[in-house]
Amino acid sequence: MQQREEKQLEASVESLISRVAHLKNSLQSFIFKLESEYDRLSWPSVLDNFALLSGQLNTINKLLRNEKTPSYRNQVIIPLLLSRDRDEELAKLTEMRVPVFSHEIVPDHLRTKPDPEVEEQEKQLSADAARIGPEVAQKQIQTLNKLCSSLLEKLNNPRDDRDAENAALRQNKPWFNPADTNALVAAVGFGKGLSKCRPPAPVAPGHPGQAMMTGGPTLQQVTIAGASSHQAGIGGAVAQQAPGQPGKIPSSIKTNIKSAAASMHPYNR
């Protein structure tokens, strides 16, 4: 019976050492990435390393809770030999971290209580927690649970559903004002809402502001004036306005005006 328990203890310790070695390698690899590859380390890679560490810790906890694993709390480690000389076998087992098993190292490695600094911090945290009343603590717990539940719902919600909801919101969102569109169509098609243009006020002949008030000379008047000046320069007949008919030009001059306009107009095409 005792031999079977000893073999079971040795097997569980070996399995535990193997799991802890895998966890240690993962931690070393992650620390190396953080120290040397921090400039090109992406957030998904960091999450993958955290997931690996979390899975290995869960595996160790399952191994410790297994029914076949003996309770390590019932096992006591007692140093049988203390020496100041270097122990190569001990250094090899501890990866050169503990080369000597002396009276200075034993209290640190066989300690069953945390370090004094850690113990002091734990006492301070316990005192701070005790000062909080049960009602305040319950409210804080409910608030934290609500935040965690909301975060879990968002994380568990599939990405496709979120994309579909965003697409539906974009489709249902109005991109124009129907009232403005109807007013624009009515103004363009039927002239609704447009102010009427008032006719220019009559101006006395010879008034200096006549050209500006009446909108200035038209293109036909400028063409006629240019053609008349050209004909006067080459010895052509200049049309004289008939009395009583201001602004009326004889038909014989119109033909000459067209030819002159076609040859002398600066914007001829």
Q: Among 79, 78, 71, which Cα is nearest to 5's?
A: 71
**Helix ranges, 37-115 (H):** 43-65, 88-93, 106-109
Q: Which amino acid, residue 89?
A: E
Question: What's the confidence (pLDDT) of residue 52?
Answer: 93
Question: What's the confidence (pLDDT) of residue 19?
Answer: 92
Question: What's the confidence (pLDDT) of residue 20?
Answer: 92
Q: Among 267, 261, 268, 266, which Cα is nearest to 220's?
A: 261
Q: Are 224 and 257 in contact (CB under 8 A)?
A: yes
Q: Which amino acid, residue 192?
A: K
Question: What's the confidence (pLDDT) of residue 51?
Answer: 93
Tens place of pLDDT for every residue, the chain, 269 residues?
677 888 888 888 888 989 999 999 999 999 999 988 888 888 888 999 999 999 999 999 988 888 888 888 778 888 888 888 998 988 888 888 888 988 888 888 888 888 888 899 999 998 888 888 888 888 999 999 999 998 888 877 766 676 777 777 666 666 678 888 888 898 888 888 887 656 556 555 554 444 444 444 444 444 444 444 444 444 443 444 444 444 545 444 444 444 444 455 555 54
CATH fold of the domain at 1-75: Methane Monooxygenase Hydroxylase; Chain G, domain 1 (1.20.58)
pTM metric for this prediction: 0.41
